[in-house]
Amino acid sequence: MKVDLRINGAIRSADIEPRKTLLDALRENFLLNGTHAGCEHGVCGACTVLVDGEPVRSCLMFAVQADGYEITTIEGLAPAPGELSVIQDAFCETHGLQCGYCTPGMILAAHALLQHTVTPTREDIVEAISGNICRCTGYGQIVEAVEFAADRLRKANTPRPHHDGPHHAHAEGVPAAAADKPVVEAK
Amino acid sequence: MSADPSSFRFVSTNRRVREDRRFVAGHGHFVADVALEGMLHVAILPSQHPAARIVSIDASAALAMPGVHYVLTGDELAAATDPLMNGLDTPKVQRHPLAVGQTRYAGEWVVAVVADTRALAEDATEKVRVTYEPLPFVMNAEEALKPDSPPVHPAHGSNVLLDRTFVWGEVDKHFAESPRHLRSASPGGRNSTVPIETFGVAASWDPWRDMLDVWASIQMPNIPIRSPARCGFRPMACACIRMSMSAAATVSSAASADRAGGASGAPARPSRALDRGPAGEHARRRRAWSGTHFRRRRRLQQ
Amino acid sequence: MSGLARSRKRASCWRATRDARLIAGGQTLVPMLAMRLARPAKLIDILRLPELAGIREEAGAVVVGATTRQAQAERHPVIRASVPMLARVLPWVGHPPTRNRGTVGGSIANADPSAEIPLVAVTLSADILLATTDGPTSMPTDDFFIGPMLTTIGQGECVSAIRFPVWPHRRIGVGFFEISARRSDFAFVAAAAQVALGDDGSCLDVALGVGGVGDRPLRLDVSSLIGTELDPASVTDAVKAVSSDLDAMSDLHASAAYRRRVASVLCIRALEQARIEAAAKSAGGAR
């Protein structure tokens, strides 16, 4: 099935089997290997891409469903070849990675968060990356990277196109976020 | 006596990891990123039984599917290779990449299907018909120690692979002297490494350089070097092993000829069975093989 | 698998075949396809059908289109204002990326006994609106959810919307508690409560439900609390009266006894949390 996808700002076309996931199409048809296959059933987040600016699991979308959206992969974040975005640079600064496999997904989740939320709390960051599993770092330096990036973006007065109101529940301080802590009782 | 840390240029200074740059940009080179010209893909058919004898394998329907190149069984592979490395002195306990004669756990690999794409290979595994005769099985270690429990490796004689007692100090004396004794058993659960990259191998045999190129998601270079060598993969004068995962992204090493089990130029010939028939014909074409998640190297023959 | 329907008309002809399945957000269906546990010959993509989209207010109700993404509902001002229980539980549903694609209708149609959205629908006595080959129809949740992952959706039908009742009271509070191994895992037990208080602090209305306990979400009748001040003794008595013989399941995660005991505790806490939230709303002012 012929499909035109808008990926990282460019229209890319291919003839793709309907049963092929967006993840496999990005990697095989469009040679964008930065999006990774981990669990392939929507649990680990290594396949994260942005669809209209929001993180989704590309292993749970079919390529033929992805027309009409603005798709952003990790390759679309660098401002120029060899240059790093503020968030990418922050991950380097705090060494928020080891093997690098979860990293593109983490960075895209962080990017989406910081488009909505100028001053994320630690809880906001943890919630934003809660759908991405890391087997190497223990997450501490990843959270630091996002805090560091948030700080730098604030100081640079970076415009945030999606920060226009109640997009992020936690930033709003809505009771939904405040009240419920997980309750764990011994059996 | 220690030097003033501020006098060091590198030690204790805040420096970035050099490799991070390309990983944050999505330019890591993991095994699934290896794409070689003519590369085929392998899918595995595992056993669903805790223990079973393999009665028959019928791959005819799978082989008839377009894009399917080969279906490898354990018998065929075992005829051309040695068993896998064994960490204990138990020569009668033999483990093979593909089950031979019987399967010993649910999930043990039985058949490897080779096809143009991963999806086709997986489609074809569904068409392979394996007939099993379920066997008695044991799933608990303490049960397995009992003499009447089903033998997992009958040739070995029992289910005990290793029995060791570790002794520290004067045990009998202290037991005799202590007023109270406590007995405790602490079973250890099984564990496994579960990297998010999962496990995969790509391999390419170059008949001109006599070189096996292997890309593997493993941090122990010893394993991919020694395994094909020990399994009698020949002729192998050299292996080039590249490991993905982490900053040690590419490492090359050469296996010496004697590790290959024969002097180079005078190779051992356990491979004769593969020379004939469709397997041999097929093997004579240079191919690169890859797999993601659960795949195996295909042994190639000149 | 071949085929992608984009218009309602084309979708309806395809629905008629036995070998086709509907796909909306795909967060539950695609993993099953990936593992080859489900094997439809065709998938019908309904995610962008305009008839199934949108959130609209009716008299006394909010109608949520089936393909409303969970993340959209989480942020939507009408949901937050008028169906606060739904807004409260949504952060517990899956993870942010799954909520960006997963739909409200999809969760309803999936009917997982421990899922939060079906629990809200049952607790609030919502109606499920269906598109069928004979035209649109609606049914109460009690008729819709019939077992674990089982609903009365027939061949050729799909959930088109969920109608959530809106309480008219000024001082409304909700409470929600869930126990799971990790946040966003399937709940072992979940309890959701909504209360309305009069200006004098007495309970004007109450709704209570538990999920993860039986084979579907259960609404518990604690109407005996109406007129009380939701004091701890009354709440405890009312909850114990309805939860002591709950039909509970045992599985490798939790025993039936555990589920019953924890359900009772979570119900009490949810009611208390709802009461506190309602009490914090000013008496005599606008909502």
User: Can you give the CATH number for the domain in which A168 is found?
Assistant: 1.10.150.120
**What CATH number has the domain bearing residue A65?**
3.10.20.30
Cα dihedral across residues C248, C250, C252, C254: positive or negative: positive
Among B16, B28, B198, the residue with its CB nearest the CB of A100 is B28
Q: Is residue C127 part of a domain?
A: yes
Nearest residue to C246 (alpha-carbon basis) of C224, C214, C275, C285: C214
Look at A182 and C74 and tell me if their CB atoms are within 8 Å: no
Specify whether A71 is located in the same domain as A98.
no
Among A41, A68, A175, the residue with its CB nearest the CB of C34 is A41
3-state secondary structure of A55: strand
Q: Is residue B10 part of a domain?
A: no
Domain that holds residue C80: 8-33+53-165
Query: Contacts of residue C23 in chain A, CB cutoff 8 Å?
Result: 65
Q: How close does chain C come to A16, measured CA to CA in Å?
A: 11
pLDDT at B243: 59
Specify whether C225 is located in the same domain as C272.
yes
Q: Is residue A187 part of a domain?
A: no
Q: How far apart are CA B273 and CA B295, in angstroms?
A: 23
| Mutation to test the A interface, candidates C22, C23, C92, C95, most A Cβ within 10 Å | C95
Specify whether A64 is located in the same domain as A90.
no
**What CATH number has the domain bearing residue C62?**
3.30.465.10
The domain boundary, picked from A76, A101, A128, lies at: A76
Strand order across the beta sheet in which B52-58 lies: B102-103, B52-58, B129-134
Total-model pTM: 0.84
Look at A36 and B32 and tell me if their CB atoms are within 8 Å: yes
Q: Where are the beta strands (DSSP E) in C87-170?
A: 127-132, 135-140, 145-147, 150-151, 158-165
Length of chain A: 187
Q: Is residue A184 part of a domain?
A: no
What residues pair up with C177 in beta bridges, in sequence order? C191
Split into its structural domains, chain B has a count of: 2
pLDDT at C182: 83
Specify whether C133 is located in the same domain as C62.
yes
What residues pair up with C61 in beta bridges, in sequence order? C58, C165
- Give every CB contact of residue B51 below 8 A, 6+ residues apart in sequence: B102, B103, B104, B105, B134, B135, B136, B137, B150, B152
Specify whether A66 is located in the same domain as A95.
no
Specify whether B84 is located in the same domain as B145.
no
Specify whether C196 is located in the same domain as C262.
yes
Specify whether B283 is located in the same domain as B167.
no
The domain boundary, picked from C165, C198, C222, lies at: C165
Specify whether B56 is located in the same domain as B173.
no
**What CATH number has the domain bearing residue C214?**
3.30.390.50
- Asked if C206 and C228 touch (Cβ cutoff 8 Å), the reply is no
| Mutation to test the B interface, candidates A41, A93, A101, most B Cβ within 10 Å | A101
Those residues of chain B whose CB sits closer than 8 Å to some CB in chain A are 16-17, 19-21, 23-28, 30, 32-33, 119, 194-198, 245-247, 292
pLDDT at B226: 60
Q: Is residue C40 part of a domain?
A: no
What's the ipTM? 0.89
Specify whether B42 is located in the same domain as B65.
yes
Specify whether C155 is located in the same domain as C189.
no
| Mutation to test the C interface, candidates A22, A64, A123, A183, most C Cβ within 10 Å | A183
Q: How close does chain C come to A12, measured CA to CA in Å?
A: 20
Residue A145 has pLDDT above 90, yes or no: yes
Among A88, A99, A104, the residue with its CB nearest the CB of B197 is A99
Q: Is residue C135 part of a domain?
A: yes
pLDDT at C244: 85
Specify whether B167 is located in the same domain as B205.
no
Query: Contacts of residue C177 in chain A, CB cutoff 8 Å?
Result: 180, 183
What subunits make at least 3 CB pairs under 8 angstroms with C? A
Query: Contacts of residue B20 in chain A, CB cutoff 8 Å?
Result: 91-92, 95, 97, 100
- Give every CB contact of residue B150 below 8 A, 6+ residues apart in sequence: B51, B135, B136, B137, B138
pLDDT at A182: 37
Q: Residue A53's closest chain C neighbor by CA?
A: C100
Look at A128 and C75 and tell me if their CB atoms are within 8 Å: no
Instruction: Show which of residues 91-130 on chain A sit within 8 Å of chain B, judged by CB atoms.
Output: 91-93, 95, 97-104, 107
Look at B20 and A27 and tell me if their CB atoms are within 8 Å: no
Domain that holds residue A27: 2-76
Specify whether A22 is located in the same domain as A62.
yes
Specify whether B155 is located in the same domain as B248.
no
Instruction: Show which of residues 89-108 on chain C sit within 8 Å of chain A, judged by CB atoms.
Output: 90-92, 94-98, 100-101
- pLDDT confidence band for A42 (50 / 70 / 90): very high
Split into its structural domains, chain A has a count of: 2
Specify whether C161 is located in the same domain as C201.
no
Q: How many CB pairs under 8 A join A and B?
A: 88
Split into its structural domains, chain C has a count of: 2
Specify whether B147 is located in the same domain as B107.
no
Specify whether B45 is located in the same domain as B125.
yes
Look at A42 and C30 and tell me if their CB atoms are within 8 Å: yes
Q: Is residue C72 part of a domain?
A: yes
Look at A185 and C265 and tell me if their CB atoms are within 8 Å: yes
- Asked if C135 and C156 touch (Cβ cutoff 8 Å), the reply is no
The domain boundary, picked from A76, A108, A133, lies at: A76
Q: Is residue B166 part of a domain?
A: yes
Q: How close does chain A come to B296, measured CA to CA in Å?
A: 18
Helix (H) or strand (E) holding A4: strand A2-7
pLDDT at A161: 77
Backbone angles phi, psi at B48, to 5 degrees: -95, 0
Q: In chain B, what is the greatest distance between 2 CA atoms, to the nearest angstrom?
A: 76
Look at B246 and A98 and tell me if their CB atoms are within 8 Å: yes
| CA-atom Rg of chain B in angstroms | 24
Specify whether B43 is located in the same domain as B152.
no
Q: Residue A187's closest chain C neighbor by CA?
A: C258
Specify whether B84 is located in the same domain as B105.
yes
Strand order across the beta sheet in which B40-46 lies: B68-73, B109-115, B40-46, B288-291, B201-206, B211-216, B238-243
Q: How close does chain B come to A18, measured CA to CA in Å?
A: 12
pLDDT at C70: 98
Lookup: tokens for B15 = 């420096």
Q: Is residue A180 part of a domain?
A: no
Specify whether C103 is located in the same domain as C212.
no
Specify whether B150 is located in the same domain as B84.
no
Lookup: tokens for B242 = 């590249």
Lookup: tokens for C275 = 């009461």
Lookup: tokens for B153 = 């490796």
Instruction: Give chain B as a DSSP string.
Output: ----GGG-SSTTS----TTHHHHHTT----GGG---TT-EEEEEEE--SSSEEEEEEE-HHHHTSTTEEEEEEHHHHHHHSPPPP-SSS-TT----SS--SEE-STT-EEEEEEESSHHHHHHHHTT-EEEEEE------HHHHHSTTSPPSSGGGSSS-S-------S-HHHHHHH-S-------PPPP-----TT---EEEEEETTTTEEEEEES-S-THHHHHHHHHTT--S-SEEEEEE-SSS---------GGGGTS-TTS---TTHHHHSHHHHHHHTS--EEEESSS--PPP---
Q: Residue C26's closest chain A neighbor by CA?
A: A60
pLDDT at B278: 33
Specify whether A108 is located in the same domain as A37.
no
Lowest mean per-residue pLDDT among A110-124, A157-171, B71-85, B123-137: A157-171
Among C35, C97, C183, the residue with its CB nearest the CB of A182 is C183
Q: How many CB atoms lie within 10 A of CB C45?
A: 19
Q: Is residue B80 part of a domain?
A: yes
Look at C1 and A54 and tell me if their CB atoms are within 8 Å: no
The domain boundary, picked from A76, A109, A136, lies at: A76
The domain boundary, picked from C165, C191, C211, lies at: C165
Q: Is residue C47 part of a domain?
A: no
Q: Is residue C284 part of a domain?
A: no
| A78 interfaces chain B, CB cutoff of 8 Å | yes
Q: Is residue B189 part of a domain?
A: no
Q: Which amino acid is at B22?
A: R
- Kind of pairing between the strands at A10-15 and A54-57: unpaired
Look at A135 and B17 and tell me if their CB atoms are within 8 Å: no
Specify whether C209 is located in the same domain as C117.
no
Specify whether A19 is located in the same domain as A56.
yes
Give the count of alpha carbons within 13 A of B114, CB side only.
Answer: 20
Q: Residue C41's closest chain A neighbor by CA?
A: A19
Specify whether A105 is located in the same domain as A71.
no
Q: Which residues of chain C carry a pLDDT beneath 50?
A: 1-2, 287
What subunits make at least 3 CB pairs under 8 angstroms with A? B, C
3-state secondary structure of C224: helix
pLDDT in tens, chain B (302 residues): 567 767 888 888 888 998 899 999 999 999 999 999 999 999 999 999 999 999 999 999 999 999 999 999 999 999 998 888 888 999 999 999 999 999 999 999 999 999 999 999 999 999 999 999 999 999 988 899 999 999 999 999 999 999 999 999 999 999 999 999 999 988 888 888 889 999 999 999 989 998 888 898 887 776 666 665 555 444 444 455 665 543 232 222 222 222 222 222 222 222 222 223 333 333 333 333 443 333 333 322 22
Specify whether B243 is located in the same domain as B116.
yes
Look at A109 and C97 and tell me if their CB atoms are within 8 Å: yes
**What CATH number has the domain bearing residue B222?**
3.90.1170.50
pLDDT at B82: 87
Query: Contacts of residue A38 in chain B, CB cutoff 8 Å?
Result: 196-198
| A79 interfaces chain B, CB cutoff of 8 Å | no
Domain that holds residue B170: 141-177
Q: Residue C266's closest chain A neighbor by CA?
A: A183
Specify whether C189 is located in the same domain as C61.
no
Q: Is residue C216 part of a domain?
A: yes
Q: Is residue C215 part of a domain?
A: yes
Specify whether C14 is located in the same domain as C149.
yes
